[in-house]
């Protein structure tokens, strides 16, 4: 049996043999120096070549981490993932090395950062523990590392773009602080440590509640969604996505659907969700054997297993199950499903049916979550429609004027600089204004969303001094668990919870009847999730009051559109400050808010600036210029907005000075062709399928004329190789007769549909003569490959967007 060892020198001699033969390596250190990276890089490279899962997270606290160290880490091997913890001035101190080999695992926690001196001759104390000493501690460390790594809003990927920003901030900080003088404030004494086993008490507080065994039946949206899922299975689909607004009972829907299956696996990324889901399922099916598979508790033999993706996703746990072990797999908060942690699980299992459920199908990776479900959206309902159908509570929205000048606060590409933002937020005048608005409009139980831990602590303290009972709840809170805080709020023993990014998803508090927003809206998706926290029906709630500070921050002129149920077009909506809202709801704005929003609307290019900002945010995340499809799948603005505003994605790139050299020449010379590919109407996908067939011939041959017969086989194969394409776009009376390939009939269809119709609408750019289809553009040889790439990028985007839109309509 392994022992716990104290290592006080030459830690690298202990680590190197473990690293070289590892199957997984997780490193979390306060800072990284180039010297430390150089010491470990050969062993890390060898492990990466052998297929090890390697993830490294280091921090920017006091800008000790060297930019050269981050660059060196990213250069070791393309499969090594590196992320940076954005500390925003809050101390960040973890030092941990978690290494697993085929037969054993090692956890090292102590004082050694990723530097040569810390790993060799420095005075350091580190404890090394074998996995077999206490498997639960080891497992818990892995789980907590992965949760912080993937889901903490403070971590960002290290890539070319984020490195460029870090180096700029690093140089600026060291010019201001040549001796790295440490200035401590009361707020900075909050420390972010590697979560210890003791900190895991929060998860242990998710206690088993005795399920209520009264008979419950599907209601409201659950009935419609359940019927659609049954129809989906009868049509032969083996995957589907359900998009339901927060508060409509997605988990119960999953439980009702599970009644049709013998063995079920429910996957989520938080233990609270797993325990809530287990209790919900047992209320529906009390005779089933249900078990948790997460952390210390692992029950692989239950009928229904509720598994943490972090635990299940590890190879040793995944392979405890056969690929066909489960008839039904349910993935909660499915908008996370494109992440590697989920993909490993999805690719391993072969269920009879895969169901994804989510309230916000936002794009978070370069894989489309719709594609994971083969594009089959079985049911969709947003919160506005649910309010109209009286399935969610109506709202009364109060827009309170915030006189903060946000234009003076540095924008970091995706959020405001927290240090500068805190300076204007943590003021008694601001707190008094917030308190005044809250006391005027509040009801009984409030959830307040803050920008930072400092702001949450400050406002909670200020409200308490004024005689109210509130709690600041955040990721570093050790005095009270999330579960306990929620219970106090539900019982009315406290008036409000001031929180930071803890209630965006997966937590239900139906009794909440007031939402207080004291932060600028940086993400419209997160704002929508937070709004959903107050809309759930409850016997003691007639409506949800939303108190929202509105200033001249980014997205202020866009956020109210989330409440708009009008069918008016985009141009009309741009000039409309107060949206058309569901019956029974109300919006009341301070006069200064109305003036501010009208002023923002009068700006010359507010929409263009928003699109530019969101583009550079994505570029920062990827570390390179996004493709058109990536902009659509991962961007914060709708991709169609770029086409509406600039005529084409290339047009936007030209406007934003993102085209260089030959790219700019190609755009100027062939803008009319690129706009034609971008904007040609598509009632079916046939035009882009034909263009794809031509592009698939390669850059040397893509412009050669093509006949219907030459295109027919590849055209037919593309439309029939995926069931959703065939069923959606090749299923009219004519199409169904062509599901089995018939060269003559397919050729006639191609000639009649894309070739003739596109020729007639392209203003001479395309002709169809003598049974041949021509693209009539003259391209200089040195421009050909670039124009080919640009055309292919647009074609791929349009095909994806077309079928995704069809999925949504079908759902």
CA distance 498 to 725: 47
* Range 419-428, long-range pairs (CB < 8 A, 24+ positions): 419/88, 419/89, 421/451, 421/452, 421/520, 422/187, 422/451, 422/452, 422/454, 422/455, 425/451, 425/452, 425/455, 425/458, 425/518, 426/454, 426/455, 426/458, 428/462
Q: Is there a contact between 371 and 513 (Cβ–Cβ < 8 Å)?
A: no
What value, to the nearest 5°, has the Cα angle with vertex 400 and ends 575 and 585?
Answer: 70
The runs of H, that is alpha helices, within 330-413 are: 340-348, 369-372, 383-388
Angle at alpha carbon of residue 403, lines to 397 and 404, rounded to 5°: 110
Torsion on CA atoms 341, 344, 346, 348, rounded to nearest 10? -150
* Residue 807 confidence (pLDDT): 57
Torsion of CA 638, 641, 642, 643, to 10 degrees: 120
Strands (E), 645-719: none
How far is CA 98 from each of CA 108, 139, 363, 525, 624, rounded to the nearest angstrom? 6, 10, 30, 34, 31
Tokens representing residue 602 in the block: 């009068």
pLDDT digits (tens, 9 = 90+) for 163-201: 988 998 888 888 776 654 333 233 333 333 323 323 333
Which CATH number fits the domain 5-193, given the four candidates 3.30.870.10, 2.30.30.90, 3.40.50.720, 3.30.70.20?
3.30.870.10
Angle, in degrees to the nearest 10, between helices 250-258 and 271-284: 50
* Closest CA relative to residue 620, chosen from 414, 416, 781, 791: 414
Question: Per DSSP, what are the bridge partners of residue 198?
Answer: none
Q: What is the pLDDT of residue 623?
A: 84
Give the Cβ contact number of residue 784 at 10 Å. 15
Same fold, 5-193 and 395-601: no
Average pLDDT score over the chain: 85
Report the run of H or E that residue 779 belongs to, with start and end: none
Nearest to 102 by CA among 51, 147, 67: 51
Q: If we measure between CA atoms, which residue out of 484, 502, 474 comes closest to residue 205?
A: 484
pLDDT below 70 — which residues of the chain?
Answer: 1-2, 88-90, 177-215, 338, 361-371, 374-375, 413-414, 503-508, 567-576, 603-606, 731-737, 807-811
Closest by alpha carbon to 254, among 357, 382, 379? 357
All residues at 6 or more sequence positions from 83 whose CB lies less than 8 Å from its CB, including other chains: 55, 56, 57, 149, 155, 156, 157, 158
Structure tokens at 65: 């981490």
| E runs forming strands in 300-346 | 304-308, 328-331
Distance of alpha carbon 36 from alpha carbon 79, whole angstroms: 19
Residue 291 to residues 140, 213, 652, 681, Cα–Cα distance (Å): 18, 17, 52, 52
- Tokens at residue 714, please? 């590849």
Where residue 310 falls (left for φ over 0; alpha for ψ -120 to 50; beta otherwise) is alpha
Exposed/middle/buried for residue 45 (C-beta within 10 Å: 0-12, 13-18, 19+): middle
3-state secondary structure of 584: coil
Distance CA 552, CA 595 (A): 11
The Cα 786–Cα 796 span in angstroms is: 15
Burial of 449 (0-12, 13-18, 19+ CB in 10 A): buried
Residue 354's DSSP bridge partners are: 239, 329
Per-domain boundaries in the chain: 5-193, 221-381, 395-601, 663-810
**Looking at the DSSP assignment, which residues form a beta bridge with residue 106?**
99, 130
Q: What is the DSSP letter of 697?
A: T
Judge whether 133 and 1 are in contact, CB under 8 Å.
yes
β-pairing, 91-92 vs 191-192, is parallel
Q: Does domain 395-601 have CATH number 3.40.50.300?
A: yes
Gap between the Cα atoms of 79 and 410, Å rounded: 33
Q: List Cα–Cα distances, 60 to 65, 69, 423, in angstroms.
A: 6, 12, 20
pLDDT tens across 563-613, in order?
888 754 444 444 567 888 999 999 999 999 999 988 887 765 667 877 888
Rounded Cα distance between 18 and 47, Å, is 10
For residue 250, what are its two tokens? 């997605």
Instruction: Tell me if residue 363 falls in helix, strand or coil.
Output: coil
Q: What are phi and psi of 361, to 5 degrees?
A: -80, 60
Hey, what are 418's tokens?
């927290």
Answer for the pair 132, 104: CB distance below 8 angstroms, yes or no.
yes
Non-local (6+) Cβ contacts of 699 within 8 A are 784, 785, 788, 789
Phi first, then psi, for residue 522 (nearest 5°) are -90, -30
Alpha-carbon distances of 187 from 298, 517, 541, 657, rounded to whole Å: 39, 21, 36, 41
pLDDT at position 223, please?
A: 93
Beta bridge pairs of residue 99: 25, 106
Look at residue 467 in the predicted model and tell me its pLDDT: 95
Place of tokens 């040609």: 680
Element (H, E) at 66: none
390-433 pLDDT, tens digit each: 999 999 999 999 999 988 888 775 678 878 888 899 999 999 99
Topology of domain 221-381, per CATH?
A: Rossmann fold (3.40.50)
């Amino acid at each position: 049996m392994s022992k716990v060892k104290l290592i006080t020198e030459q830690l690298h001699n202990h680590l190197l043999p473990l690293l070289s033969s590892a199957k997984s390596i997780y490193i979390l250190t306060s800072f990284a120096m180039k010297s430390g990276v150089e010491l470990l890089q050969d062993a890390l490279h060898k492990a990466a070549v052998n297929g090890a899962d390697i993830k490294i997270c280091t921090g920017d606290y006091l800008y000790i981490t060297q930019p050269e160290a981050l660059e060196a880490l990213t250069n070791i091997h393309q499969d090594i993932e590196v992320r940076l913890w954005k500390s925003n001035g809050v101390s960040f101190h973890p030092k941990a090395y978690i290494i697993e080999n085929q037969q054993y695992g090692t956890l090292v926690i102590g004082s050694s950062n990723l530097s040569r001196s810390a790993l060799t001759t420095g005075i350091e104390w580190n404890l090394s523990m074998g996995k077999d000493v206490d498997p639960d501690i080891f497992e818990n460390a892995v789980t907590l590392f992965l949760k912080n790594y993937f889901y903490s809003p403070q971590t960002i990927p290290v890539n070319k773009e984020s490195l460029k920003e870090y180096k700029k901030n690093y140089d600026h900080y060291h010019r201001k602080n040549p001796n790295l003088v440490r200035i401590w404030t009361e707020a900075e004494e909050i420390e972010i440590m590697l979560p210890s086993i003791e900190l895991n008490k929060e998860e242990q507080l998710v206690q088993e509640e005795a399920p209520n065994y009264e008979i419950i039946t599907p209601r409201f949206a659950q009935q419609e969604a359940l019927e659609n899922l049954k129809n989906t299975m009868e049509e032969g689909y083996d995957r589907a996505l359900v998009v339901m607004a927060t508060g409509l009972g997605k988990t119960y829907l999953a439980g009702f659907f599970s009644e049709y299956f013998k063995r079920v696996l429910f996957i989520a990324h938080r233990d609270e969700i797993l325990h809530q889901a287990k209790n919900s399922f047992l209320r529906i099916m009390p005779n089933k054997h249900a078990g948790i598979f997460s952390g210390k508790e692992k029950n692989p033999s239950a009928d229904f297993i509720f598994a943490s993706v972090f635990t299940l996703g590890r190879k040793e746990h995944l392979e405890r199950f056969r690929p066909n072990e489960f008839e039904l797999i349910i993935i909660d908060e499915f908008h996370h499903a494109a992440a590697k942690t989920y993909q490993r699980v999805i690719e391993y299992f072969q269920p009879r049916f895969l169901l994804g459920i989510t309230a916000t199908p936002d794009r978070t990776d370069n894989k489309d979550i719709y594609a994971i479900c083969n594009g089959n959206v079985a049911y969709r309902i947003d919160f506005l429609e649910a309010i109209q159908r009286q399935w969610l509570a109506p709202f009364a929205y109060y827009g309170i004027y915030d006189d903060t000048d946000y234009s003076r606060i540095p924008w970091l590409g995706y959020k405001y600089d927290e240090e500068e933002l805190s300076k204007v937020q943590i003021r008694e005048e601001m707190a008094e204004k917030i308190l005044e608005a809250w006391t005027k409009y509040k009801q009984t139980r409030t959830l307040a969303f803050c920008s930072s831990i400092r702001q949450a602590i400050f406002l909670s303290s200020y409200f308490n001094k004024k005689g109210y009972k509130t709690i600041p709840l955040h990721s570093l809170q050790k005095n009270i668990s999330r579960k306990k805080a929620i219970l106090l709020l539900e019982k009315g023993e406290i008036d409000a919870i001031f929180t930071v990014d803890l209630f965006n998803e997966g937590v239900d508090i139906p009794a909440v009847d007031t939402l207080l927003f004291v932060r600028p809206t940086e993400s419209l998706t997160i704002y929508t999730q937070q709004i959903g926290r107050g809309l759930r029906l409850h016997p003691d709630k007639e409506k949800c009051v939303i108190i929202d500070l509105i200033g001249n921050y980014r997205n202020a002129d866009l956020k109210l559109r989330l409440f708009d149920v009008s069918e008016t077009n985009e141009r009309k909506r741009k000039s409309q400050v107060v949206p058309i809202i569901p019956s029974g709801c109300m919006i009341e704005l301070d006069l200064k808010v109305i003036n501010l929003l009208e002023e923002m609307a009068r700006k010359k290019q507010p929409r263009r600036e928003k699109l530019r900002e969101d583009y550079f945010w994505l570029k920062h995340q990827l570390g390179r210029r996004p493709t058109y499809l990536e902009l659509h799948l991962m961007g914060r603005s709708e991709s169609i907005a770029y086409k509406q505003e600039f005529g084409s994605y290339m047009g936007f790139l030209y406007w934003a000075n993102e085209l260089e050299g030959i790219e700019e020449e190609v755009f100027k010379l062939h803008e009319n062709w690129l706009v034609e590919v971008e904007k040609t109407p598509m009632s079916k996908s046939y035009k882009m399928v034909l263009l794809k067939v031509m592009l698939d011939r390669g850059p040397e041959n893509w412009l050669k004329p093509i006949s219907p017969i030459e295109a027919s086989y590849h055209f037919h194969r593309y439309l029939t190789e995926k069931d959703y394409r065939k069923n959606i776009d090749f299923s009219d009376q004519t199409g169904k007769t062509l599901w089995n390939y018939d060269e003559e009939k397919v050729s006639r269809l191609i000639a009649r549909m894309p070739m003739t119709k596109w020729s007639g609408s392209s203003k001479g750019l395309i002709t169809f003569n003598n049974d041949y289809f021509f693209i009539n553009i003259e391209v200089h040889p040195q421009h050909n490959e670039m124009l080919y790439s640009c055309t292919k990028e647009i074609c791929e985007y349009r095909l994806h967007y077309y079928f995704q839109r069809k999925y949504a309509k079908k759902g």
